[in-house]
Amino acid sequence: MNKMVSERNRKLAEKVIRGLESRNMEGYYAETKEEALKIALALIPAGSGVGWGGSVSIADIGLNVNRPVGGRAARLMLETGRHPGALKDAVCSGDYTVYNRDACSTPEEKRSVELQCLGCDYFLSSTNAITEDGILVNIDGKGNRVAAITWGPEHVLMIVGMNKVVKDLDDAWARARNLAAPVNAQRFDIQTPCKKTGSCADCKSPDTICSQFLVTRYSKAPKRIKVILVNDNLGY
């Protein structure tokens, strides 16, 4: 990352973190993906139940980690030769109860795990956009991810690249609908207008991934939502 861009990101992150704190949420800043991975694992106590929704960002951090990260996960990786390719890999290797939707083989099994995630200790996610004053904006197709952000898990831990920070709510919606949604439509290979044009058509397609819209402007439970801002481009 360019030095001047990194300095701008650091200063902007300070503003976003102040905004999050004013909204009863917590914010952290990581200079690198490796540092973000360490912060995330330090926040999750051993023995916690951990689950996640669909998120590219939580798969992105730690992609270039070349050494164990600590705790039982470190011991296991030393013994097995495995290194964490991502936060989810590190969690699966650690001393946690894992609700792993990615390992499910049937829709019924996946739904059962997603319901269990609503009662987990830590739900891992990202956000489609975050405003400079700390408001989170998310769009979801099925709704399990925004449901968990809203209520259920004891804590929500978000990994957010600085590419997702925008000026205000209007910009947040524009980013979520005209950038995140079209790219995710391509990722899932679904038949929506935005996949074909690259821009939101406000569609009602059966394949739409924009069924649920969520604005999180305040957390009733103090510090329930923890956001790690990363000096990198993560997710969409």
Both tokens of 25, joined, read 């949420």
- Residue 158's domain spans which residues? 3-230
Which pLDDT score is estimated for 77?
A: 39
pTM score: 0.87
The answer as to whether 80 is a domain residue is yes
Between CA 115 and CA 85 the distance in angstroms is: 26
Which pLDDT score is estimated for 86?
A: 66
Query: Which residue's entry shows tokens 């989810």?
Result: 88
Planar angle of CA 193, 199, 205, nearest 5 degrees? 25
Which pLDDT score is estimated for 173?
A: 96
Which pLDDT score is estimated for 131?
A: 98
Planar angle of CA 36, 42, 45, nearest 5 degrees? 140
The answer as to whether 235 is a domain residue is no
Which pLDDT score is estimated for 136?
A: 98
The answer as to whether 30 is a domain residue is yes
The answer as to whether 28 is a domain residue is yes
The answer as to whether 236 is a domain residue is no
Position 147, amino acid: A
- CATH number, domain containing residue 116: 3.40.50.10420
Of 86, 163, 150, nearest in space to 118 by CA: 150
Task: Note down pLDDT in tens along the chain; length 236 residues.
Answer: 799 999 999 999 999 999 999 999 999 999 999 899 999 999 999 999 999 987 777 777 643 323 333 444 444 433 433 333 468 888 888 899 999 988 899 999 999 999 999 999 999 999 999 999 999 999 999 999 999 999 999 999 999 999 999 999 999 999 999 999 999 899 889 999 999 999 999 999 999 999 999 999 999 999 999 999 999 999 88
Which pLDDT score is estimated for 230?
A: 96
Between CA 215 and CA 62 the distance in angstroms is: 28
Between CA 182 and CA 200 the distance in angstroms is: 7
Task: Count how many domains the chain has.
Answer: 1
Which pLDDT score is estimated for 81?
A: 37
Of 42, 43, 44, 16, nearest in space to 29 by CA: 16
The CA-to-CA distance between both ends of the chain, in Å, stands at 18
